[in-house]
Amino acid sequence: MINLDHFLNETAIILTGEPARWESSLQLLVDLLMTDGKPDEVPETFPEEHLPIIACNMDLVYMDKAALPRFGHGAFLICLQTLYNQLTGYKLRYTSLLGKPSEITFRFAEHILTLTSKRMGYKRPIDRLFFFGIDEM
């Protein structure tokens, strides 16, 4: 076993992009989630509530030089969710998903549009928004 005495207990996980070596990163993240941030201790049971996770860039695929789309950070997040669920029986819950496309981004846009329309004198509430050129929510 690796001596982790010099490691601090983790209090949150922030994911900003897919790593180069998915298997190592997935293993470490699942270890942190299953041990409440203390991967050097074997828990008697897995915690139902896990460390907070903030993730951005949920695109499943992206286009590059290859003819077919490449896996993006969204694919990595799906792998993490699936592994955590299969190993613990619990659903992985993200504290926040940031960037496009995410609900928080769309809610903020809706809020700004509502404020702007009121400032412009429109009386009717906005009941339908259309976004073009982005993934479906």
**Which residue bears the tokens 């050129």?**
133
Mean pLDDT by 10 residues, the chain (137 residues): 58 87 95 89 87 88 89 94 96 86 75 89 82 56
Pairing of strands 61-62, 70-71: antiparallel
pLDDT of the residue at 134: 54
Looking up tokens 């669920």 gives 85
Instruction: Answer for the pair 50, 93: CB distance below 8 angstroms, yes or no.
Output: yes
pLDDT of residue 6: 58
Quote the tokens at residue 69: 């789309």
Which pLDDT value is given to residue 137? 46
- pLDDT, residue 1, reads 53
CATH number given to 13-99: 3.40.50.1000
- Whole-angstrom Cα distance, residue 53 to residue 57? 13
Kindly list the domain boundaries of the chain, sorted by start residue. Answer: 13-99, 102-137
pTM for the full model? 0.70
**H or E element: which one contains 26?**
helix 22-34
- Per-residue pLDDT, 15: 92
